[in-house]
Structure 1
Amino acid sequence: MIDFHCDVLSKMLKNDALTFQGGADGTLDVTYERLRQSGTMLQTFAIYISPRQSANIEPVLESVDLFYERILSCKEMQLVTSAADLESSITSGKTGALLSLEGVSGLQGRLSMLRLLYRLGVRAAGLTWNDGNWAADGIMEPRGAGLTGKGREFVSACNELGIIVDVSHLSEQAFWDVAGLSTKPIIASHSNARAVCNHPRNLTDRQLKAIILGEGRVGITFVPWFVTSDREACVTDLLGHVEHICALGGEKHIMLGSDFDGIDSYMTDLKHPGEVYRLKEALLARYSEVQVAGFMQNNALTFLRENLPAV
């Protein structure tokens, strides 16, 4: 599989004792061993700084350091910053590691910090978490505003640099601002269909269609309360989101965005990468092998090949 969102780095930032390799104590959902055992092709690692932490660049840079020191130090993990890196990781059989930014508060409006993070390997970025910041409002911000002037500059800078813009967590107005401004395809790295589960963090049909028409991608997420609202969530509940997005014309635009390590309660049968095979089996009962391969990895793979810098 290819998974476009996990929060390993956030957990490590809060707990310096956590280890990615040999971490068998259950404190991390995503570990080196689970990624290798599950045959994961690429895992995206998000830099997420809680609003309760310092809103400056230091914890962001500390997270980047954790990525290099604890994730990329594992011998079968390979940094992916370009399409060439992606092909190299596939050819070598290594697990690709892509670095993303979930919320830009710590940049404090300075595009110089974005350029620095690009040089350090960041290749995807969401403007905010659920709250509002200098760039945009998040979906839980009561104001419900869109992009600020600085936020518009940020999106344009991402397009110029080759950083994929992520619209998960954005307010609806900010979503439409990004969709209208971005000259490159956008992603929702970890969001489901609101028509299937009526949670604000999920996307409306109109939003989903905009991503599809723009050749972007939607990462189906395993957050239980984004999957179903009336009972414990299980793998079969995810199929409703897949089916709905397919009905909107999005068969080629579905990918995975687990949000492992970013949640404290789980679907009953999908708690870490070692259990994603259950999703694949459920999908194969309803879709062809070609379609399932698209959902699990090929749709994301095609997108990355087309939208990462060439080298």
Structure 2
Amino acid sequence: MATNALVPVFDGHNDVLLRLSRSGSKTAAHDFLQEGSTGHLDLPRARAGGFAGGLFAVYVPSSTTGTGSDGKPEPLAPPLAEAQAAALELVSLLARMERVSDGGLKICRTGGDIRGAIAAGALAAVLHVEGAEMIDPDLNMLDVLHQAGLRSIGPVWSRSNIFGHGVPFRFPSSPDLGPGLTEAGKALVRACNELRIMVDLSHLNEQGFWDVAALSDAPLVASHSNVHALTPHSRNLTDRQLDAIRDSDGLVGVNFGTMFIRADGTKNPDTKLEELVRHIDYLVDRIGLDRVGLGSDYDGTTVPNDLRDASRLPALVATLRDKGYDDEAVRKICSENWIRVLEKTWGA
């Protein structure tokens, strides 16, 4: 029987660190502890909606634009020194958020950390890198970030860097755009396997996806991606990619971004939650209930009005229940599947 209690949500992706950094506030860490009227995520709104934790992205925006492999404009990766300075600012911000939260937020390095934080009512934050531009070819910075708590990394964002080629934002389009991982990228994947850092497939083009699949001994995970067969956006996953994730016992975190869930691929916040749930339905049918999670992309994309901030997550839970998902299935999709795949990847 369904209950009225909040269902804990462990989420595969948010960009709150970048939003707070861009605000220019000298008290950004404290600002996260106050309920805001802008953005999607802060601690009060997380608690109000059952947002219990997730992957907190360190992402360095592009400052210049070039030409992609398809001849169209593509953002260029920032140079190493610029990326390292910006990334360290965001990693420091997350550390300060933990420090000033008085136990309200905990940086988690193991599955036990996540479970313990959620049980204690603390927000379970996992340090994630989206686009590895801050990591040097010798991977020295990878070791430093791992010691700081890094447990998940996307080798690329939707641009090229020394590790590989991200899939550009195209609609309608196949994700098969350009070459995949470089030799440096393959070395990065091997190093992440050794360190038990999850390799995130979201933002990789299709060839890069298959390069990771051929190299990695960990479950294949796309932290915030959707179904290409329903919304033919280049960022979404083909059935063949989904089958590989299923066969590796991995996971897909469903992105709330309207451009990735609507059949017309538009950034339209007037989008019904049923559009999001049809992607969940498809994934459950294709890869199995135990391999589907959430990857909201909060503070990083346009989301449906009904999910306009983290306090609104119960509306998605209600929609899932209306569509026939029982309490066990809802718990798996909302948090348990993510914790399972992270524990399997991290070995803890």
Q: Which one of 22, 34, 41 corresponds to residue 34 of structure 2? A: 22
Q: 1:176 to 1:144 in 2, by over 3 A?
A: same
Instruction: In structure 1, list runs of 5 or more residues that go unmatched.
Output: none
Deviations 1:85-107 (A, max 9, x none): 12321332322111100001121
* Match of residue 277 from structure 2: 239
3-state SS of paired residue (1:107) = coil
**How many angstroms does 1:309 deviate by?**
4.6
Residues 179, 208 of structure 2: 8 Å contact kept: yes
Q: What are the residue-to-residue correspondences of 1:220-299 with 2, within 5 Å?
A: 220-230=254-264, 232-263=270-301, 265-286=302-323, 287-299=325-337
AA aligned opposite 1:15: S
Q: 1:31 to 1:59 in 2, by over 3 A?
A: same
* Match of residue 11 from structure 1: 19
Paired residues, what number? 308
**How many angstroms does 1:72 deviate by?**
4.7
CA distance in 2, matches of 1:241, 1:216: 17
* Match of residue 159 from structure 2: 131
CA distance in 1, matches of 2:208, 2:286: 22
CA distance in 1, matches of 2:203, 2:191: 20
* Match of residue 218 from structure 1: 252
Matched, 1:205 2:254: no
Matched, 1:61 2:61: no
3-state SS of paired residue (1:303) = helix
3-state SS of paired residue (2:210) = helix
CA distance in 1, matches of 2:224, 2:96: 26
CA distance in 2, matches of 1:96, 1:146: 33
**How many angstroms does 1:268 deviate by?**
2.5
Q: TM-score, normalised by structure 2?
A: 0.84
Matched, 1:169 2:206: no
Residues 32, 74 of structure 1: 8 Å contact kept: no
* Match of residue 51 from structure 2: 40
Residues 50, 311 of structure 2: 8 Å contact kept: no
Deviations 1:140-181 (A, max 9, x none): 199611110000000000010011000000010000000111
CA distance in 1, matches of 2:120, 2:98: 17
CA distance in 2, matches of 1:72, 1:226: 35
* Match of residue 74 from structure 1: 101
**How many angstroms does 1:234 deviate by?**
2.0
**How many angstroms does 1:302 deviate by?**
1.5
Residues 35, 45 of structure 2: 8 Å contact kept: no
Percent identical pairs in the alignment equals 33
3-state SS of paired residue (1:5) = strand
**How many angstroms does 1:71 deviate by?**
4.6
Q: What are the residue-to-residue correspondences of 1:131-170 with 2, within 5 Å?
A: 131-140=159-168, 144-170=178-204
RMSD: 1.7
CA distance in 1, matches of 2:216, 2:32: 35
CA distance in 2, matches of 1:42, 1:269: 20
* Match of residue 73 from structure 2: none
AA aligned opposite 1:162: R
Residues 197, 346 of structure 2: 8 Å contact kept: yes
Q: 1:72 to 1:240 in 2, by over 3 A?
A: farther
AA aligned opposite 1:186: L
* Match of residue 131 from structure 2: 103
AA aligned opposite 1:6: N
3-state SS of paired residue (1:100) = strand
AA aligned opposite 1:8: V
